[in-house]
Each structure stands twice: as structure tokens, then as C-alpha cells.
Structure 1
Amino acid sequence: MTRTSLPLCIACAQIAPRVGEVDYNRQLCNAAIAHAAQQGAELVVLPELAQSGYAFHDLDEALESAEGLYDQTVMGWFELARQHDIIVVGGLCERLSAVEVANSVVLVDPRGWLTCYRKAHLWDREKLIFTPGDQPPPIVHTAKGRIGLVICYDLELPEWVRLAALGGAQLLCAPVNWPDLGRPEGERPAEIVRVQAGAAVNRMFIAACDRHGHERGIDWVGGSTIVDADGFPLAGASSLPEAQLLVTDIDLAEADDKWISDHNHVHQDRRPELYGGVCGTSTQSAHPPWAHCSRTGYSPPPHHRQ
């Protein structure tokens, strides 16, 4: 059977926003969008909190940089999207009220549509500043294909990535700010490995756009990466703490084929009736499996003791 091709040229723009310098960041983002369009990109992903910078001291400082969804930054992205016929995915510090902000990502469609997702899983001190989102990853039906949205630490919750895949996402776009926490010599960043795993187990493209630069004592991985539906990197996938624009062509139709052998389908092989514990409702019996072994003198390892 002939499969319909859904080609898409995508880009990740790894830039270095400055915390609290919204005007500077706005110009930086706009230049990156235009540059991506000049390179033929039909969709560009910017980093997490690209509009504001990341390392706020406190909520009050975040409120000073926050903008609404129809303020200058996002409206500028709309104008560039229309001008260049490009989809823009970018992170911003969103003002929810006079006393609340969200770590948000917007997808701006050149046809005039705006989709917003608010980060549900907050990392470290983000919990002291941002109000977490309470909605699942949105799946946006664009003219180019079905695009899902998450932010940074969301990628490390496999249930959340799976949710986007089950919702029909062909491409998952993830603005990220990955702090460089160190790793064993010769190892690639674990954040990239997790992106590859999420793509492979769901047969879904993932584009994660990191940042670079030094911000209030934080260095960044600079690990922007675009991964195919088999989990293999198409661009990036290494630590490069400097400005870069990753551009690659993908065929979104590949993400609609979930078969990995003649008899295995990555979603149909799931057995959700056995997974209640993943959602906080245990499916275990009163006697765990190792209880049967204890009758023959077996003692379970310490982490199994109850």
C-alpha cells in the first residue's frame, strides 16, 4: 500500500536569552525566526522561556517580565509567521493574573491560530514561581501535520509523552532549558537519551530546542536535537553550548506507522488494564510476587520490603 508523504522542514533555534531583558529577547527570537525561514524551515522551535530568560530570583521578578498571549512578543511572532508562512513554537513567561505566571509555550500558525500549553511538571525552583498547568499536551492540527506541545521536564515523565503520542501527535515540539548538571566523561547528555527513547517507544518525531549562554550561575547543555520516529538523531544530539540553528527535513507520515515488526504495534501491544499503578491505583494483589518465594527461604531485596 502506498503511503502518503507529509514532508516538513523543521528547525530548532538554539539562542541565549537574557533573564529579564524582554526587548533584547524579543529581537533575538525574531531574528532567529527570520533566519530559520530563510533556510527553508516551515516550522521553527525556540527555547523554553525564550521571551523572558529563565533564572528569575522570585515571583515578583517573573511578573515584571511576564506578558499576555496577545501582547507584543506573541503578536510579533504572528506577524513573522504570516510574513514567512512559518509555524512558530516558542516559550514565554505568561501572565495569568496580577499575582500568577505560567511557564508556557505557544504555537503560532500563519493562518492565525494560537495554541497555548502551560507546563504541567515544574522543575526545581520553578515550583516557587510558576503556577503549573492542568491540561494534557495539546495536539494541534496544522496544515503541515499534527503537532504536540510539551516543555522541558515534561519530557522526563513517560506517561506525558505517551499521552501526546496517543493523542495522535506526529511531531512533539519541546522548548527546553537543560541545565548542565555534569555527566560521566564520554557520555552524551541524559536529556537527549530520554528524548530518543520517547521518540522510539512511540514512533513519533521529537524536536527539543535548548538554549545556551551563562545565566546567574547556570550553564546549559546546549543539546538541541531533532529525533526521528525510530529514535535516531537527525540533527544535533550533542552538547554544543553556543548558538546554532538545526534544520532538517522529515516525513511526518512515518509517525503514523506504529508497526515495528509483523506482529508488534507500539500502541496496540499496550495492556492498560495491567498498568493501574502508573496512574496511582494499584493493580497488585495483597501478596506481591516475592511473597511466594519466601516460602522456600528466599528473602527479597531491601527495596522490595513493605
Structure 2
Amino acid sequence: MVKIATVCMGSDPRDKAANRNKMIAYIEKAAAQEADLIVFPEEILTGVGTVGMQQFKGEDKLFMQQASELVPEGESTRIFVEQARKHNLYICWGMAEKDPDRFDATHNVAVLVGPEGYVGKYRKVHLPLCERLYHYPGTGDYPVFDTKIGKIGLEVCYDKCFPEVARSMALKGAQIILGPTCWPNISGTLDDPDHKVHVTFSQARAMENMVFFVDANHSGAFMGGHSMIVGPNPGQIIATTGFEEEMVVAEVDVEEEINRARIFSMGGSDLLRDRKAGTYGELTKWNAYNPYWGGVVE
């Protein structure tokens, strides 16, 4: 059995130390409940700016560059490795990563550490709205990491709008996909279109790959909250927060639930087994050119 915690939390756009201290408090709370994994929102450490990522503000980009850190060499990764070892759990969080090869370049990154130390990172590939003015995209390696609690894949926020991302990791054996996010909710209601999209995509990525999908979202003005733990069976939201800051914990049997989904759900249809990859050639043909990458995607 694995205990998973996901956090709905707001960040201070100008105080990395305060954000980190709040995260440590949640880690201690999760450890008190014997959690094996805790997931924090996108860029929770360095903040998403004073006007969010839907508008560009030069001062926010400057702060983000100044607050960015190398991964795994940076101070915050070292601190969270210590926390992971101290509490014997895995920690996933979002932050701005300093590019070691370019002083002016940053990436929106999800980092995973555990009792064994630094596990790995993932640089967000799909950058929406003004975010592409803040960061450079990742290269699309879509990593899957072997851990003591299962095979874990990482993606970030807008990536979940593209089913190829989660599918790529599922085909590499991912059992749990973590998606730190900063999803908006302009009206602050459950009927908000953005809220419905947020929930639908998280459920879809779990169901179509028959894996666990865990997202962690920001709270605060115009933020959607509702950090969720979604299971591999159809429509299975195992646990969710509300709009306000909080943490939820769920205990799951990862292998058993995935097996049950692939054997019993949808009349015994295993959506990975039943793929006909040889018939999907047109997808590669029609998506070979991506202007945001400046050329052909291999």
C-alpha cells in the first residue's frame, strides 16, 4: 500500500524562503500521517508572479531568474533531499530552474526527491500564454523513474492537455504520473469552464492510460484549487481538496488497482494492450513541424 498526499497551496511571488518553509510544514504534516509521497503545485517554490502566468510582467521575470536554482545542485533541492531522508518519503514540487549552460535562461521544472536522495526532474515542454516569455521549453524526454513506491512519471500543468505526454510515460511503464499545476478558475465556482477542464483532463489522463494521476494546484485569487488523486478506474477521483489551502491523503494499492482497471473495467479492455500503434502513422506525419520549436520534431 502507498499513501499519497497532494497539497493545494498558494505561493508568495516574492519570498522563496517563506514558500519553502510552508512546504516543509506540509511535509511534516504528511509525515505525521505516514505518507509515502507528497506532491506540491507548479512553481510553488519560486511563485508564478504577481499577475500569474496569463500576463507578462518584466519584474516577475527578473525575480524568477534571480530566484531560480540549479537542479540538483541548488540549495532548495538539497534541503528537500534532507527532508525526504528525515521523513522517509518522496517529495515532488515545481520551481524555476536555472539553466546551467545559459545565465539568462530558466525552465519550469518538476523535481522529485526521495529517501535515496535526488531522483530526477522534468522540464515543462508545453508553455501556454505568456509563460513562453518567462521560460524555455524542455526537450520532451518524458522521464519515468523507478522508486520504492512504483514507477513515477512527471509532467507539468498544460502538459496534461496533450495526451501524448502521459501516454509516452505509460508506455515506459509509469504507474503514477505526477502533474504539479497552476490551473485558473476565474469565477471561483465549480461551474467555471476552466475548473471543468482541469478535472476532465486529470481524469482522462488516468483513465486512458489506466494509471494513477496526481495533480497539485495553487489556491488564491483566480486559482482553481482542487488538487486531486485520480485512480486508474473510470471516473475515480479518490481524494480532492477544495479551493482553499489544504492537504489530502489517500492510501492506495498501486499494482492491485491498475491490474483491476486493466482486467475488469470497460469490459476487460486494456487500453495499452489494445493499441494499434502501426495504424497511427498519420499522427507523426501531420505533426512533424512545430513552429515553437523552430523545426522538425524527431
Same fold at TM > 0.5: yes
Equivalent position to 2:128, from 118, 123, 139: 123
| 2:184 counterpart letter in structure 1 | P
Deviation digits for residues 59-100 of structure 1 (CA, Å, limit 9, x no counterpart): 323211111112221111011100000100011110113100
Helix, strand or coil at the partner of 2:34: coil
CA distance in 2 between partners of 1:262 and 1:152 (Å): 31
Query: 1:46 — aligned with what?
Result: 40
Partner SS for 2:200 = helix
1:226-237 equivalences in 2 (<5 Å): 226-230=229-233, 231-236=235-240
Q: Which runs of 4+ in 1 moved over 6 A?
A: none
Contact 2:43 2:96 in 1 (8 A): yes
Aligned-partner SS, 1:211: coil
Cα distance in structure 2, aligned partners of 1:169 and 1:256: 13
Structure 2 counterpart of 1:89 = 92
Would the aligned equivalents of 1:93 and 1:104 in 2 still touch at CA under 8 Å?
yes
Distance 1:78 1:100 in 2: 25
What's 1:212 paired with?
219
Aligned residue for 1:196, secondary structure, equals: helix
Other-structure match for 1:301? none
* Whole-Å separation in 2 of the counterparts to 1:234 and 1:261: 19
Match of 2:184 in 1: 179
**How far does residue 173 in structure 1 lie from its aligned partner after superposition?**
0.7
Cα drift, residue 256 of structure 1? 4.6
Say what the alpha-carbon RMSD is for the aligned residues.
Answer: 1.9
Residues of 2 paired with 1:186 and 1:62: CA distance?
29
C-alpha deviation, 1:190, in angstroms: 1.7
Using the TM superposition, name which of 138-147 and 249-258 deviates more. Answer: 249-258
The reply on whether 1:111 has 2:116 as its aligned counterpart is yes
Contact 2:215 2:229 in 1 (8 A): yes
Residues 120 and 132 in structure 1, CA contact (< 8 A), matched pair in contact too? yes
The 8 Å contact of residues 212 and 222 in structure 1, kept in 2 or not, is answered as: yes
- The correspondence of residues 231-250 of structure 1 with structure 2, limited to 5 A, is 231-236=235-240, 240-250=242-252
Choose the corresponding residue for 1:192, options 199, 204, 207.
Answer: 199
Query: CA offsets per residue over residues 9-37 of structure 1, 9 Å max, x none?
Result: 00001111111311111111111111111
Partner of 2:277: 272
Q: Which residue of 2 aligns with 1:148?
A: 153
Q: Which amino acid aligns with 2:28?
A: A
Distance in 2 of aligned mates of 1:172 and 1:242: 24
State the alpha-carbon separation in 2 of the partners of residues 113 and 222 from structure 1: 28
Of 138, 142, 149, the residue aligned with 1:137 is: 142
Distance 1:125 1:280, change over 3 A: farther
In the alignment, what sits opposite 1:285?
A: none
Q: Which one has the largest radius of gyration?
A: 1
Query: 1:186 offset after TM fit, Å?
Result: 7.9
Between the aligned partners of 1:227 and 1:20, the Cα distance in structure 2 is 32
Counterpart CA distance in 2 for 1:47 and 1:204 is 20
Aligned residues of 1:13 and 1:36 also touching (Cα < 8 A): no
Does residue 165 in structure 1 map to residue 170 in structure 2? Answer: yes
Matching residue's letter, 1:25: N
Task: Give the deviation of 1:164 after TM superposition.
Answer: 1.3
Which amino acid is the alignment partner of residue 95 of structure 2? L
Asked whether the equivalents of residues 178 and 191 of structure 1 are also in contact (C-alpha less than 8 Å), the reply is yes
Whether 1:78 and 2:81 are equivalent positions in the alignment is: yes
SS in 2 for 1:122: coil
SS in 2 for 1:89: strand
Unpaired segments of 5 or more residues in structure 1?
Answer: 1-6, 283-306
Q: Note the C-alpha offset of 1:103.
A: 0.2
Relative to the length of structure 2, the TM-score reads 0.85
Matching of residue 65 in structure 1 with residue 72 in structure 2: no
Q: Secondary structure at the match of 2:92?
A: strand
Q: Is the CA contact 1:189–1:221 (under 8 Å) kept in the aligned structure 2?
A: no
Contact 2:144 2:174 in 1 (8 A): yes
